[in-house]
């Protein structure tokens, strides 16, 4: 599992080259002529874009009024609390009157076959089994023999929106490596259909892996052995980066970084039964100021891990500071010659270039892909894409089509597609169009202020209200059913 949520205000210390120059208050620098207030923003949307916002300030220019963040949000930013949508604690919208108790935190009680063929560019089994000198298939082999993985862009196995339709979108825009959402090994061994669905691969995914979570060597090894017999993937990843309490308190996820004996048994056991490379995702450590990764990496290399991805934050830190790319740079040497991918705060090609200068083999992208899935194209073409609102709507339309293909076009399939679309829209609204920015690029820790876009759709896509996300979903999937309820990740933004 990787970042399924969001980010935080810029803070000094540990950020490395990435994040340098971020605004002091964590607000994206939008050109003044586009800025507005919260009240005028919603007034404009409610009018369907047919009326200009009321001009309440002197001089008749509504851009001259107070452009700052809402008071509660401003206090949170100035105090260094999680900003830009931090999954764990950030309350997305402070819509309710001050006299009412504000909802906050996560809605933790939200209701929740082997493929027959694949496209080209899958790793040859002879490579996997270290018999590259003599290919099993000879001249007839249609598989990939090039093991070079340097410079690859790896879409993280996101927990909220990292499903097959979203992966297809990212593949189209240039993601090189994809991975299924985190699957719990005990659920797989019990045959839970919903868990096995997380492992499904699409033919467009040429380098594809699955991610497992578990705390015990016997169940993890049995699960790896089962997957080795029943599904066709290019690698299996162990999630040792998951910070959530439900996983951590059971000894899985980040907890394994402090359980060296169990961790070793899991890696060695899984490596013994797999015919594909075993990879591991870790964080810098568990506690904020106690880094463990540099000590674990040489061990992981010796235990049998083929590649490690390092997220530049600790479990305790969550998203309250920028990822520590200077520490990732230090860990590159500790991991060598084992490949090390870096992860954290990539939202532009400049961020990616700075990351590659640390010596990492490749980059994993998580929240950046949720904010703008065309980020992979920007990195490969070394440019900022001022994508239009209509182009962004086309991406959402493709996602819904992929969703209906994946989950079905009956009522249940439509509503499941809608639910994942709404979850994704809660991230997409944080993207600020390139043409509106005073300074490029937008940083991942910068929350957009209220602004009016260049057209009504661009403004609607900037709304952080669940009700407006519903409106966008209705453009693509039709009206919501009677008594429709959407319970997003954060309690402060529920739609009922």
Q: Which two tokens stand for residue 432?
A: 């600020």
Cβ–Cβ < 8 Å for 286, 254: yes
Cβ–Cβ < 8 Å for 181, 159: yes
Summarize the confidence of residues 139-162 as an average pLDDT: 78
pLDDT at 16 over 50: no
Segment 221-250, tens digit of pLDDT: 999 999 999 999 999 999 998 888 888 888
Q: Which two tokens stand for residue 57?
A: 């300030």
Q: What is the pLDDT of residue 480?
A: 95
- Secondary structure element (H or E) that encloses residue 468, with its range: helix 466-477
* Contacts of residue 409, Cβ cutoff 8 Å, sequence gap at least 6: none
Q: What is the pLDDT of residue 142?
A: 62
Q: What is the pLDDT of residue 177?
A: 97
Distance (Å, whole) CA 493 – CA 110? 13
* Contacts of residue 155, Cβ cutoff 8 Å, sequence gap at least 6: 162, 167, 170, 171, 175, 177, 178, 179, 364, 365, 366, 369, 376
Distance (Å, whole) CA 447 – CA 6? 10
Residue 205 lies in a domain: yes
Distance (Å, whole) CA 101 – CA 352? 42
Averaging pLDDT over each range in 26-30, 74-78, 251-255, 288-292, which range is the top one?
26-30
pLDDT band (50, 70, 90) for residue 113: very low
- The rounded percent of the chain whose pLDDT value lies above 70 is 74
Segment 325-378, tens digit of pLDDT: 999 999 999 999 999 999 999 999 999 999 999 999 999 999 999 999 999 999
Instruction: Pick the range with the lowest mean pLDDT from 35-39, 40-44, 122-126, 157-161.
Output: 122-126
Instruction: Pick the range with the lowest mean pLDDT from 44-58, 149-163, 249-263, 457-471.
Output: 44-58
Residue 214 lies in a domain: yes
pLDDT at 81 over 50: no
- What is the average pLDDT score of the chain? 82
Q: Which residues pair with 16 in a beta bridge?
A: none
Q: What is the pLDDT of residue 215?
A: 93
Cβ–Cβ < 8 Å for 215, 186: no
Residue 200 lies in a domain: yes
Q: What is the pLDDT of residue 19?
A: 40
Distance (Å, whole) CA 13 – CA 313? 12
Residue 184 lies in a domain: yes
Q: What is the pLDDT of residue 321?
A: 82
Distances (CA, A) of 216 to 186, 251, 293: 10, 8, 21
Distance (Å, whole) CA 90 – CA 443? 18
Q: What is the pLDDT of residue 272?
A: 95
Mapping DSSP to helix (H, G, I), strand (E, B) and coil, where does residue 355 land? Answer: helix
Q: What is the pLDDT of residue 288?
A: 80
Q: What is the pLDDT of residue 146?
A: 57
Cα Rg of the chain (Å, integer):
23
Distance (Å, whole) CA 175 – CA 359? 20
Residue 260 lies in a domain: yes
**What CATH number should be reported for the domain holding residue 284?**
3.20.20.70
pLDDT band (50, 70, 90) for residue 65: very low
Q: What is the pLDDT of residue 490?
A: 62
Q: How many domains does the chain have?
A: 1
pLDDT band (50, 70, 90) for residue 39: very high
Q: What is the pLDDT of residue 7?
A: 39
Residue 352 lies in a domain: yes
Instruction: Pick the range with the lowest mean pLDDT from 100-109, 353-362, 390-399.
Output: 100-109
**Whole-structure pTM value:** 0.79
Q: What is the pLDDT of residue 45?
A: 94
Please report how the helices 349-356 and 325-335 are oriented relative to each other, as an axis angle in degrees rounded to 10: 40
Q: What is the pLDDT of residue 9?
A: 35
pLDDT band (50, 70, 90) for residue 464: very high
Residue 15 lies in a domain: no
Q: What is the pLDDT of residue 3?
A: 47
Residue 331 annotated to the active site: no
Instruction: Pick the range with the lowest mean pLDDT from 13-27, 51-65, 165-179, 235-249.
Output: 51-65
Instruction: Pick the range with the lowest mean pLDDT from 73-82, 299-308, 376-385.
Output: 73-82
Q: What is the pLDDT of residue 108?
A: 64
pLDDT band (50, 70, 90) for residue 130: low
Q: Which two tokens stand for residue 472?
A: 């966008």
pLDDT at 252 over 80: yes
- Secondary structure element (H or E) that encloses residue 283, with its range: strand 278-283
Distances (CA, A) of 435 to 121, 387, 395: 37, 9, 19
Q: Which of 161, 170, 185, 242 is catalytic?
A: 242
Residue 133 lies in a domain: yes
Segment 417-429, tens digit of pLDDT: 999 999 999 999 9
Domain that holds residue 180: 125-381
Instruction: Pick the range with the lowest mean pLDDT from 59-63, 111-115, 417-421.
Output: 59-63
- Secondary structure element (H or E) that encloses residue 326, with its range: helix 325-335
Q: What is the pLDDT of residue 25?
A: 66
Q: What is the pLDDT of residue 430?
A: 95
pLDDT at 398 over 50: yes
Burial tier of 431 (Cβ tally within 10 Å: 0-12, 13-18, 19+) = buried
């Amino acid at each position: 599992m990787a970042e399924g949520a969001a980010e935080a205000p810029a803070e000094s210390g540990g950020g490395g080259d990435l994040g340098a120059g971020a605004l002091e208050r964590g607000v994206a620098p939008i050109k003044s002529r586009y800025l507005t207030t919260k009240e005028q923003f919603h007034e404009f949307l409610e009018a369907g874009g047919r009326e200009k916002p009321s001009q309440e300030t002197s001089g008749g220019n509504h851009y001259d009024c107070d452009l700052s963040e809402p008071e509660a949000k401003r206090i949170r930013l100035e105090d260094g609390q999680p900003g830009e949508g931090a999954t764990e604690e950030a309350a997305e919208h402070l819509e309710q009157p001050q006299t009412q108790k504000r909802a906050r935190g996560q809605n933790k009680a939200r209701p929740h076959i082997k493929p027959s063929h694949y496209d080209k560019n899958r790793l040859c089994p002879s490579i996997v089994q270290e018999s590259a000198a003599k290919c099993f298939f000879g001249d007839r082999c249609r598989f990939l023999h090039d093991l070079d993985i340097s410079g690859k862009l790896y879409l993280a196995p996101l927990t909220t929106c990292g499903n097959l339709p979203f992966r297809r979108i990212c593949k189209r825009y240039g993601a090189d490596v994809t991975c299924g959402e985190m699957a719990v090994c005990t659920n797989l061994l019990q045959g839970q259909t919903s868990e096995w669905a997380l492992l499904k691969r699409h033919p467009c995914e040429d380098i594809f892996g699955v991610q497992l979570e578990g705390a015990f060597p016997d169940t993890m090894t049995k699960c790896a052995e089962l997957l080795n017999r029943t599904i066709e993937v290019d690698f299996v990843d162990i999630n040792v980066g998951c910070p959530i309490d439900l996983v951590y308190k059971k000894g899985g996820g980040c907890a394994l970084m402090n359980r060296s004996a169990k961790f070793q048994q899991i890696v060695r056991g899984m490596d013994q039964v797999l015919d594909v490379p075993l990879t591991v995702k870790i964080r810098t450590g568990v506690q904020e100021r106690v880094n463990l990764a540099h000590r674990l990496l040489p061990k992981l290399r010796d235990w049998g891990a083929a590649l490690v991805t390092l997220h530049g934050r600790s479990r305790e830190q969550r998203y309250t500071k920028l990822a520590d790319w200077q520490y990732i740079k230090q860990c590159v040497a500790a991991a060598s010659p084992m490949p090390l991918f870096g992860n954290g705060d990539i939202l532009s090609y400049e961020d990616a270039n700075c990351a590659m200068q640390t010596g990492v083999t490749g980059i994993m992208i998580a929240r950046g892909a949720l904010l703008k899935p065309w980020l992979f194209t920007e990195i490969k073409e070394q440019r900022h894409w001022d994508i239009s609102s209509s182009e962004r709507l086309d991406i959402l339309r493709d996602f819904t089509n992929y969703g209906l293909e994946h989950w079905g076009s009956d009522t249940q399939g439509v509503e499941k597609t809608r639910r994942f679309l709404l979850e994704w829209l809660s991230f997409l609204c944080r993207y600020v169009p390139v043409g509106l920015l005073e300074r490029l690029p937008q940083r991942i820790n910068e929350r957009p202020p209220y602004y009016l876009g260049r057209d009504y759709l661009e403004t609607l896509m900037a709304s952080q209200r669940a009700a407006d996300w519903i409106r966008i979903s209705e453009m693509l999937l039709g009206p919501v059913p009677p008594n429709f309820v959407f319970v997003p990740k954060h309690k402060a933004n529920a739609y009922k």
